[in-house]
Structures are given as structure tokens and as C-alpha cells.
């Protein structure tokens, strides 16, 4: 048997494959961006054939770069952008529509109608989520209502629904398996996170036939075998998790009270709450962190829609930087006397506000304001938003108050020293950056590798987590208090629902 693990990370803007050595170091990487489709304002779609071809290509690239053959791989782990909806024909495997992406807001009216009809409590109680277009359910309902003949096919079981992991597994196994894992199921708004069943009451409200839904497995399980004609050898798929949950695992946040925050396109903070499915009073999400050997660990999640994407806006929109890294250098040179705030509500605000209609705003501009202060305000906004999430977590759950550990960070933006220092300053808490920033792929590689029996147990894996740098708070208390108050004021002036 081979001794390498292949992790497939199918993200929102690119697909990555990483071959891991037995000692958990990286042997080879493949990465490919794919086209984003914006057919109407607020709509975001992905071409599933594009995703499929890209994933197969990056797997081959990663194996080539690692200088190994498919037969050297012991197992595959799959992690994916969550909530995005795929539907395909059961016989041919052909998609019946482009995938509707998590960022897509087309079902905002549907969500409002469901709210008006008094269904929000029912959905939240059962799924831990809020009635928001972000999640899969209303996107599935939209497809059934809008693709000609689809509802009939769904009712007679000739089309299938899945999140991206399900779609990839269906293709990799040549249509043998229609499965997903508990973390992905938890993001669909159709799955009861307490009973671990697709919920018939919710399906009835949404008029979604149960026949289209995948079987839900633990994160470590036998998800089927990827066929030799695709990757070059028959390889078992042994691990699956949504990308933010995979990062929680990759950061070894296995103890209740541990929290990680991933700074990619958006930012997603997950707090391990152990066996408690904590109900938030502050509009955080209750979600499944992982399910191993039938035992569920829950998390509170805060989702921020714009993190690294705001830095992309500095680069591509305002064109005040050439590359993302330059944002920190500019911020470091900003005039400390200027109090400029950016509220990056470019696509509304996520947790804890969930204000879909809010739009971005900048406050405190003077004739002296330059690209430096704007850059600083952009990076600080991500830190302030994280502070809001962690405050909400502390209010929601007593276990978060005496969290034993510090915030563990990862994702592209965590490479910015300036931002991580400012984050620590504004949180007034240490921020730990690990050696391996590819925590998402690492998390799912651990699921697959330990299931294959060649990677350490959970405890052993947790011990391998290594810190690259700890950022400690240096800001004076008075400065922090003043700045946090300024941010609060800026947000309150931006919200449409107060
Ligand atoms: N040095 C940096 N400073 C600030 N932002 C950065 C830096 N490097 C990368 N980023 C941001 O991080 C994001 C990419 O991170 P990544 O984890 O690859 O995201 P995703 O998985 O969502 O595509 C980009 O939006 C980019 O603007
Ligand atoms: O693909 P990413 O890294 O932007 O993550 C997307 C999240 O899973 C959306 O919930």
C-alpha cells in the first residue's frame, strides 16, 4: 500500500490538490483557478464540468510535483467550499444546471417569505442556521422551481443533489456512491444537527423530495473508491469535511474552548463547544465541527464575507497596491493620528449583524488621508470584525470566557504580520500562527490518513501542531478602547436594520 495522502481542496476561487508525506509534510501541490459566473447582479455560479476537470488536473499536477504515482497514494481526503449546490442526472452524471455558489443571493425573497410565514425558529432550532440565502436549501428549491422538468425528475429519483464533495465523490467513484459527511450536511439547512437526519418537516416546507439527498457519513469513513481510469490507480476516499471544519481539524482545535479563524476570501471563526450544540443569542451559527466514530463535536461559527477580498479590492478596485503583501507595508506607514474606519459591507454584513442590505462605507476622511490610511483601515476592519465575533462567542457560551488557548489563525491573509499584530492588539489576546498555513488540506489529510491507519491518532496529531509565531498585544488600553468605540460607531451608522 502507498504511504502518501492526497488532499483535494475544492475552494470558491480555485481548486488545490496537495500530496502529503507520511510525516505530514507537503510533497507536492497542484492549483488551478476557475471562472466565476455572475449571470445577474447578486448571482454567483460555477460550471461543474470546469470544477471537475480542474480537480482531476490538479491531482495529476500534485502527484507529478511530488514525483509519485497514483499507486503510491494510500487514501484521498476531500474538503470543499460549503453550501454550494450541485445537481446532476443520476444516469449520465451530467449537471442539470450550473452550481449555485454560497455567495449567491438570488433566494433572498424566498428567505424573507419563509421568515414572514414564521418558519425561522423551526429552521434555526433544527439546523443551527439562520434563514439566509447563504445556505443550500433555498438554492435547491430555486433550481427545482426554475429548471424545466426538474421537479418531476427529482420526485422519481432520477436527479441527485449534493454539495461539491458529493458531486466529486459521485464522479470519482464512477457513480457508485452518493454520499456526504456530517459537516457538509450541516450547512444545507435541511439536516437536523441533533438527530443527524434529513428533516422531513423542513423538506416539506421547502417542497424538496428526499430522494435527491445523499447518505450522510462520519468525517472519517469509506466514501468509496476513486477509479483507476481517473487518477491512475484505485484509491479509497477516507476523509471528507467542509473547508472551515477541515481547518478546525488541521489547527487541532479538538478541545472545547479552542478557536480558529481562517482569513481567505472571507473569514470564518469556529469555536469548539464540545458535545454542546450551543444556541446563539447573538446570531452566530451552531454547526457540526466534526463527527468521528459516531460522536459529534459542535462549534459556534461566525462568518465574515469580506476579509482577503477587501485586500483584493485595494489591489483591483482602488488600484492602490500591486500585490496583497503591499497592504501591510502601506498600513505600517499610515499617520497614527488619523482615525479612518472602513466598514467593508460590500455584499452586506455577515455575523453577528446579518444585514444583507448594508453597503460599504468609510468614515473619518480628511484632506490628509492617503492610500496608507485607507489600507490600514481595510486591514483593521478584518480585525474589528473578528473582535465582534469573539465577543459574541463569549456572550453565548461560558466555555469561551476561559478559553484555555489563544486564537489560531490561518489562510492567505494570516501571512500579513502587520494584520496579525493588529489583530492581537485589538483582541487584547495572543494570536498564534502555525507553521503549516495549509490547515484546510492538512485537516482532511489527517481524516484520510488516520482512517487509513498511517497517520497518528487525534491526540498524536494534536501534538504535531507547531507554532510559527505568536503575536502578543502591545497596544495601550486607552487606544484600544477608543478604536473599538470608533468601529462600533462606524458600523452602527452603516447598518440598515438597527
Ligand atoms: N500578505 C497579505 N496581506 C493581506 N492579504 C493577503 C496577503 N496575502 C494574501 N492575502 C489575501 O488572502 C486571500 C487569499 O487567501 P486564500 O487562503 O488562498 O483564500 P481562498 O482559499 O479563499 O481563495 C486573498 O484574498 C488575498 O487578498
Ligand atoms: O472557499 P473558501 O475558502 O472561500 O470558503 C468558503 C466557505 O466554505 C463558505 O462557507
| Residue 109, H or E segment | helix 108-116
Question: Is residue 342 in a domain?
Answer: yes
The verdict on 186 and 38 lying in the same domain is: yes
Instruction: Give the residue, 153 or 347, on which the prediction is more confident.
Output: 153
Known binder of ligand: residue 82? yes
Peptide bond preceding 49 in cis form (omega within 30 of 0): no
Q: How many whole angstroms from 81 Cα to the centroid of ligand 1?
A: 15
Q: Could you give the percent of the chain with pLDDT greater than 70?
A: 99
Nearest CA, atom 26, ligand 1: 308
Total domains present in the chain: 2
Q: Which of 44, 80, 317, 324 to mutate to test the pocket of ligand 1 (most atoms within 8 A of CB)?
A: 324
The verdict on 155 and 294 lying in the same domain is: no
The verdict on 324 and 195 lying in the same domain is: no
The verdict on 105 and 69 lying in the same domain is: yes
Residue 349's pLDDT is 86
Average pLDDT, integer, range 305-318: 92
pLDDT digits (tens, 9 = 90+) for 427-484: 999 999 999 889 999 999 999 999 999 999 999 999 999 999 999 999 999 999 999 9
Domain edge (last residue) among 194, 218, 243: 243
Question: Is residue 222 in a domain?
Answer: yes
Ligand 1 site, residue 394, Cβ cutoff 6 A: no
Residue 402's pLDDT is 60
The verdict on 209 and 257 lying in the same domain is: no
Domain edge (last residue) among 243, 272, 301: 243
Known binder of ligand: residue 41? no
Q: Which of 15, 308, 310 to mutate to test the pocket of ligand 1 (most atoms within 8 A of CB)?
A: 308
Known binder of ligand: residue 232? no
Q: Give ipTM to 2 decimals.
A: 0.97
pTM of the model: 0.93
The verdict on 194 and 331 lying in the same domain is: no
Nearest alpha-carbon partner for 236 in 453, 496, 458, 406: 453
Buried b / exposed e along 438-470 (16+ C-beta atoms within 10 A)? bbbbbbbbbbbbbbbebbeeeeebbeebeeeee
Q: At what angle do helices 120-127 and 108-116 cross, to 10 degrees?
A: 110
The verdict on 205 and 278 lying in the same domain is: no
Q: How far apart are CA 320 and CA 309, in angstroms?
A: 14
One-character DSSP codes across 284-332? PEEEEEEEETTEEEEEEEEEES-SHHHHHIIIIIS---SSTTHHHHHHH
Is 154 within 8 Å of 144 (Cβ atoms)?
Answer: yes
Known binder of ligand: residue 250? no
The verdict on 226 and 266 lying in the same domain is: no
Question: Is residue 454 in a domain?
Answer: no
The verdict on 40 and 178 lying in the same domain is: yes
Burial class (CB in 10 A: 0-12, 13-18, 19+), 337: exposed
Q: How many whole angstroms from 460 Cα to the centroid of ligand 1?
A: 30
Average pLDDT, integer, range 140-157: 94
Lookup: cell for 403: 478559553
The verdict on 99 and 212 lying in the same domain is: yes
Question: Is residue 453 in a domain?
Answer: no
The verdict on 288 and 208 lying in the same domain is: no
Residue 356's pLDDT is 77
Nearest CA, atom 3, ligand 2: 11
Domain edge (last residue) among 197, 212, 243: 243
What domain range is 329 assigned to? 252-434+466-498
We report the CATH number of the domain holding residue 143 as 3.30.420.40
Is 162 within 8 Å of 180 (Cβ atoms)?
Answer: yes
The verdict on 356 and 217 lying in the same domain is: no
Question: Is residue 176 in a domain?
Answer: yes
Amino acid at each position: 500500500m502507498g504511504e502518501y495522502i492526497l488532499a483535494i481542496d475544492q475552494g470558491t476561487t480555485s481548486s488545490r490538490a496537495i500530496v502529503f508525506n507520511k510525516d505530514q509534510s507537503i510533497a507536492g501541490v497542484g492549483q488551478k483557478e476557475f471562472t466565476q459566473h455572475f449571470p445577474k447582479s447578486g448571482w454567483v455560479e460555477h460550471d461543474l464540468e470546469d470544477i471537475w476537470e480542474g480537480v482531476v488536473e490538479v491531482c495529476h499536477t500534485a502527484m507529478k510535483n511530488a514525483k509519485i504515482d497514483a499507486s503510491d497514494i494510500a487514501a484521498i481526503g476531500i474538503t470543499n467550499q460549503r453550501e454550494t449546490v450541485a445537481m446532476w442526472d443520476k444516469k449520465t452524471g451530467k449537471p442539470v444546471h450550473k452550481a449555485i455558489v454560497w455567495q449567491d443571493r438570488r433566494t433572498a425573497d424566498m428567505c424573507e417569505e419563509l421568515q414572514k410565514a414564521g418558519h425561522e425558529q423551526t429552521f434555526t432550532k433544527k439546523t443551527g442556521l439562520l434563514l439566509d440565502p447563504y445556505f443550500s436549501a433555498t438554492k435547491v428549491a430555486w433550481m427545482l422551481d426554475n429548471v424545466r422538468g426538474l421537479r418531476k425528475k427529482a420526485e422519481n429519483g432520477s436527479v441527485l443533489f449534493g454539495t461539491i464533495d458529493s458531486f466529486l465523490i459521485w464522479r470519482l467513484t464512477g457513480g457508485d456512491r452518493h454520499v456526504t459527511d456530517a459537516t457538509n450536511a450541516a450547512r444545507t439547512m435541511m439536516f437536523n444537527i441533533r438527530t443527524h437526519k434529513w428533516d422531513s418537516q423542513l423538506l416539506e416546507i421547502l417542497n424538496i423530495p428526499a430522494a435527491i439527498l445523499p447518505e450522510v457519513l462520519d468525517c472519517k469513513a469509506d466514501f468509496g473508491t476513486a477509479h483507476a481510469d481517473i487518477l491512475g490507480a484505485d484509491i479509497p476516499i477516507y476523509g471528507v469535511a467542509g473547508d472551515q471544519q477541515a481547518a478546525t481539524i488541521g489547527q487541532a482545535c479538538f478541545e472545547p474552548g479552542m478557536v480558529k479563524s481562517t482569513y481567505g476570501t472571507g473569514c470564518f471563526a469556529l469555536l469548539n463547544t464540545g458535545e454542546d450544540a450551543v444556541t446563539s443569542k447573538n446570531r452566530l451559527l451552531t454547526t457540526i465541527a466534526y463527527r468521528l466514530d459516531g460522536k459529534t463535536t459542535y462549534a459556534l461559527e461566525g462568518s465574515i464575507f469580506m476579509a482577503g477580498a477587501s485586500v483584493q479590492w485595494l489591489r483591483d478596485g482602488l488600484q492602490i497596491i500591486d500585490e496583497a503583501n503591499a497592504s501591510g507595508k502601506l498600513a505600517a506607514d499610515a499617520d497614527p493620528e488619523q482615525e479612518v474606519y472602513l466598514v467593508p459591507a460590500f455584499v452586506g454584513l455577515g455575523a453577528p449583524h446579518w444585514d444583507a442590505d448594508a453597503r460599504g462605507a468609510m468614515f473619518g476622511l480628511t484632506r490628509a488621508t492617503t492610500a496608507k490610511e485607507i489600507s490600514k483601515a481595510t486591514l483593521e476592519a478584518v480585525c474589528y470584525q473578528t473582535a465582534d465575533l469573539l465577543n459574541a462567542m463569549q456572550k453565548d457560551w461560558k466555555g469561551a470566557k476561559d478559553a484555555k488557548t489563544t486564537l489560531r489563525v490561518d489562510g492567505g491573509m494570516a501571512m500579513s504580520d502587520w494584520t496579525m499584530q493588529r489583530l492581537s492588539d485589538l483582541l487584547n489576546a495572543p494570536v498564534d500562527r502555525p507553521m503549516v498555513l495549509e490547515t484546510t488540506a492538512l485537516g482532511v489529510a489527517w481524516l484520510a490518513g488516520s482512517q487509513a491507519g498511517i497517520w497518528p491518532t487525534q491526540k498524536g496529531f494534536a501534538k504535531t501542531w507547531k507554532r510559527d509565531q505568536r503575536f502578543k498585544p502591545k497596544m495601550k488600553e486607552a487606544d484600544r478602547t477608543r478604536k473599538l468605540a470608533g468601529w462600533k460607531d462606524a458600523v452602527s451608522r452603516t447598518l440598515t436594520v438597527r
